Amino acid sequence: MKLYLAAAVLLLALVAYTEAQDDSFAERFSNFGDQITEFGKNVAEKAKTHFDAIATSDFAESTRNWFTEKFQQFKDKVQEMNQ
């Protein structure tokens, strides 16, 4: 009879331990999701900052102006040919 009682107590302890592990696993999984979300926000913020810096750089502006100038020259030549 004492063996059955010891086995039942051991089984209850195992179930309690397993449930405690499940809670910590769920907690870890939730924390992992939060960390991934935070990582994604940080990456997006840094990418936006770098994109803005590149778009407003002197090189980007001079390149944009060069293309605009060349396109205008091309349009003028096409108009001359049509006249």
User: What is the number of structural domains in the chain?
Assistant: 1
What's the confidence (pLDDT) of residue 64? 92
pLDDT at position 25, please? 63
Name the residue range of residue 26's domain.
Answer: 2-82
pTM: 0.49
E strands present in 27-79:
none
The tens-digit pLDDT sequence of the chain (83 residues) is 567 677 777 777 777 776 666 556 667 777 787 888 898 899 999 999 999 998 889 999 999 999 999 999 999 999 988 87
